[in-house]
Structure formats: structure tokens, C-alpha cells
């Protein structure tokens, strides 16, 4: 499974969200590859199953075939684990 953490540029929020997602996946016992990407790069990806992003980016990803999960607090492992768990388990 491939999960992409997405932000506008692909280096700030997405990098933090990737770290949080890695911890959350470990917590819920799911194996997946998490990468960080810019919004433009994410729109070109065809092999990602899930985009993790913030509310201000989510609308721009909704017209892709990839599931979009909106994260309110990018450093909150519990929130990310709960939202990923609801989708994956």
C-alpha cells in the first residue's frame, strides 16, 4: 500500500505528516509506504491508495481516484491512527 502525505510544496507539512503517519501505521499494525509530495506531484501519482493532507489542500485532490483523508493536526499520532484505522481496518 502506498500513502502520500501532501502539502503545497512537498517539504514542510507533508514531511511532518509523513513522520506522523509512519508512527500511526506502526501503532495500528499496518504496513505501508508513506512518501511526502507536493500538490502538483500528488496529482500525477497513479499508484497511491491514500492521500493524507490538510483541509486547505483536500479540495484540489478530490477529483483524483485516490482516497483523500483530511488531517486537522499533522503531528497528532492518535488522530492519524484513528483516521487511517477507520479506512484500513
- Tell me what pLDDT residue 10 has: 86
Rounded Cα distance between 65 and 81, Å, is 22
* CA separation for the pair 89, 72 (Å, rounded): 21
More confident residue, 11 or 50: 50
Kindly list the domain boundaries of the chain, sorted by start residue.
2-88
Whether 65 and 7 have beta carbons less than 8 Å apart is answered as no
**Which region, left, alpha or beta, applies to residue 88 given φ > 0 means left and ψ of -120 to 50 means alpha?**
alpha
pLDDT tens digits, one per residue of 55-76: 999 999 988 999 999 999 999 9
Burial call 40-55: b when 16+ CB within 10 Å, e when fewer: eebeeeeebebbbbbe
The CATH classification number of 2-88 equals: 3.40.50.2300
Strand order in the sheet with 33-38: 33-38, 2-7, 50-53, 67-70
Question: Which whole number is the average pLDDT over 3-8?
Answer: 97
The 10 Å Cβ neighbour count of residue 35 is 17
Amino acid at each position: 500500500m502506498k500513502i502520500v502525505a501532501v502539502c503545497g510544496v512537498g517539504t514542510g507539512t507533508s514531511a511532518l505528516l509523513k513522520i506522523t503517519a509512519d508512527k500511526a501505521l506502526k501503532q495500528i499494525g499496518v504496513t505501508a509506504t508513506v512518501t511526502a509530495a507536493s500538490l502538483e506531484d500528488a496529482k500525477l501519482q497513479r499508484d497511491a491508495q491514500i492521500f493524507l493532507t490538510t483541509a486547505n489542500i483536500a479540495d484540489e485532490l478530490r477529483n483524483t481516484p485516490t482516497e483523500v483523508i483530511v488531517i486537522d493536526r499533522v503531528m497528532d499520532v492518535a488522530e492519524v491512527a484513528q483516521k487511517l484505522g477507520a479506512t484500513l481496518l
